[in-house]
Amino acid sequence: MTTPPSSPSAAALTSRLRAAGCVFAEDEARLLLSVPQSDADLEAMIAQRVAGFPLEAILGWVVFCGLRIGVGPGVFVPRQRTEFLVREAARLSRPGAVVLDLGSGTGALGVALGSMVDGIELHSTDIDTPAVACTRRNTEPLGGRVYQGDLFAPLPPELRGRIDIMLANVPYVPTDAIDLLPPEARDHEPLVTLDGGLDGLEVLRRVAAEATDWLAPGGSLLIEIGDKQRAAATDAVTAGGLTARVVDSEEFYATVVIAQKSPRPVVEAREIA
């Protein structure tokens, strides 16, 4: 007969996680031990973590903007740096704003913005089935609507020209750089969540090309990028007919392009005879 494993102490678990390469081993040990569960289930979770699965996927949640957000298997884990994009979006939002979260993953960005701005009308889209299911679980209880498909394709036509705030943390890692990502991302997050094509900006360019049609006059599009992508990303956004500025945060180690649609319809200059 085998004896069921007994709970390790925090110190023993920290050493085990550290030996497996977990940088924040002490914090992770505390989180794993805080989950009420049997010793056998705890051991299974530890074994997954030691094998390299992202902690948040094992726990089933992540803390984002101070909120506990559900994370499903195979869904991109929201990064802390993306809190900067949400905070910038909150500064630009008014109560009741119509918000679109493009490439929503867990849906964390929309949920977090909804906790900062009263009464938003939240719409989210993603192409990946596990992400859509996860966004549904996290946003539908709050009144969010969720669509599955390629970028704007699944949106109801009546949203065209009505979106005040568009959140777009879409894939922006250049294909060649995927191999350099930490194993948690490289081995456990689907390629569709990470791969931004040759220069990382292929999805962003498609977003920028179509955003103007969907934004309300004066509406804003916020896109997270890598520090070295600012010039090419700004070009892509202005080519789509929006004005653009780039903001950075040292605290979050994040860079965001904020693009805006003109508040008034553009009137073409007429030649005066």
Min dist CB 179 to ligand SAM, Å, is: 17
Binding pattern for the stretch 23-62 against ligand SAM, x by CB under 6 A and - elsewhere: ----------------------------------------
Nearer to ligand SAM, 32 or 203 (CB): 203
What tokens were used for 75?
């869904």
Min dist CB 199 to ligand SAM, Å, is: 16
Nearer to ligand SAM, 148 or 262 (CB): 148
Q: CA-CA distances (angstroms) from residue 180 to 42, 133, 185, 216, 253? A: 31, 29, 10, 39, 18
Nearer to ligand SAM, 14 or 104 (CB): 104
Backbone angles phi and psi of 81, in degrees to 5: -60, -25
Q: Is the separation of the CB atoms in 234 and 213 below 8 Å?
A: no
Binding pattern for the stretch 120-139 against ligand SAM, x by CB under 6 A and - elsewhere: -----xxxx--x--------
* Separation CA 116–CA 211 (nearest Å): 24
Q: Is the separation of the CB atoms in 107 and 93 below 8 Å?
A: no
Which has the closest alpha carbon to 112: 141, 89, 146, 143?
89
Min dist CB 260 to ligand SAM, Å, is: 20
Min dist CB 262 to ligand SAM, Å, is: 26
In the block, tokens 């689907």 appear at: 190
Binders of ligand SAM among residues 196 to 255 (CB under 6 A) are: 203
What tokens were used for 99?
């918000």
Min dist CB 153 to ligand SAM, Å, is: 8
Judged by CB under 6 A, the stretch of 52-60, 164-172, 231-239, 249-257 that binds ligand SAM is 164-172
Count the residues of the shown chain that bind ligand SAM, applying the rule CB under 6 A: 22
Q: DSSP character for 114? A: H
